[in-house]
A = this chain, B = another copy of it.
Amino acid sequence: MSIITENNDIEDIKIEGEYDGIIELDQWFDPKAENSVLLILNQRIKLDHSAFEALWNSYTIKICADGAANRLFDYYRDSDGKRYHPDVIAGDMDSIREDVLEYYEAIETTTVIKQNTQYSTDFTKSVNVATLLLLGIDLNAVEINEYDGIHKLYQQADKSQLKDIPLLILNGIDGRFDHTIHSMVQFYALRRQDPYFKMCFLTMSDMIILIPSSKKGYWLKLDKVKPLIGNCGLLPLAGPNIITKTKGLKWDVEDWPTSIESGNVSSSNRFVGENCLIACEESIVMSVELKWDKITQHLIDESE
């Protein structure tokens, strides 16, 4: 039987019992992992410069997908004329401007990788590049076929050593709506193909992550992020789902069928404690509202 419980606004929620995993929300703001990937897509960068700078400095690998290089080029230039230099610009290069391409081709630390195949998107090309960099492959030292060399290298690579890599995506949401939904598709594609990535989309409203399907549930550890966040939603974008248990939400549910079609969708919910358990039959998308004024300060503090 399906149960909805309204809890107090503040409760003490400890990680306890059996569970399938822990998801730390701070891993994307302050990635302490040895390796982490920041991927920028082709929309205007709306972040405050101090927030952007802190994020940029805390990620070990930075990649622009095609026209995202224009956005980075246009976004910021310091008083010496120096811009941000990504490790790689990857894609079919149908969006990058000539002047931007010329600028970055002259930068020694930036590698431009053109891949013509239309069987994968600039997003996938960039994520495949990230995998190769994580494996320590020097992309300047190997020959890369301009049609689909990256895809071939990616397929041949042994990825078994890779684990728990924070992957933060800027500009994946709030543009064209089919692009936004295509970003949601990536959650499921990546979980299938590259489960070592822990992906998060960052917007000026939210952070958006995937809670994997599980029997016992995943604990979200809010920790330092708790004061920086507001409402949250559990969004069954892949189809009807059953949230078997939550613990730590204002409105907790048990054995709750959720779907876009039925209208049973947990939106405008919120966290009552420092931790929150979520168990669902199929992987579910979660949005967590961000208080950007506080996020920016947190990013600056953590990067110092």
Contact = CB atoms under 8 A, between A and B. Distances in A.
Interface string A169-184: 0000111111111101
Given A177-B173, A231-B176, A182 B259 contact: no
A128 interface: no
Contacts of A287: 176-178, 181
Contacts of A208: 177
A51 B140 CA distance: 50
Contacts of A237: 181, 237, 260
Contact of A206 (B173, B176, B182): B176
Most chain B beta-carbon contacts within 10 A, residue among A173, A177, A268: A177
A239 to B, nearest CB: 3
Contact of A260 (B177, B181, B267): B181
A178 B239 contact: no
Contacts of A180: 180
A181 B267 contact: yes
A253 to B, nearest CB: 15
A171 to B, nearest CB: 13
A207 to B, nearest CB: 9
A172 to B, nearest CB: 11
A265 interface: yes
B239 A182 contact: no
Interface size class of A (residues with CB under 8 A): 35 or more
Question: Chain B CB within 10 Å — which of A178, A180, A240, A260 has the most?
Answer: A178
Contact of A233 (B181, B261, B282): B181
A262 B193 CA distance: 12
A238 B181 CA distance: 12
A287 B178 CA distance: 6
Q: Lowest 4 CB-CB distances: which A-B pairs, in order?
A: A178-B233, A239-B239, A178-B267, A177-B287
9 contacts: A173-B177, A178-B232, A178-B267, A182-B267, A184-B260, A189-B263, A238-B259, A239-B239, A261-B282
Interface of A: 173-182, 184-185, 188-189, 203, 205-206, 208, 231-233, 235, 237-240, 259-263, 265, 267-268, 282, 287, 289
Given A176-B231, A178-B232, A189-B263, 20 more contacts: A173-B177, A176-B206, A176-B287, A178-B233, A178-B235, A178-B265, A178-B267, A178-B289, A179-B267, A180-B180, A181-B267, A181-B287, A182-B267, A184-B260, A185-B260, A188-B261, A188-B262, A237-B260, A238-B239, A238-B261
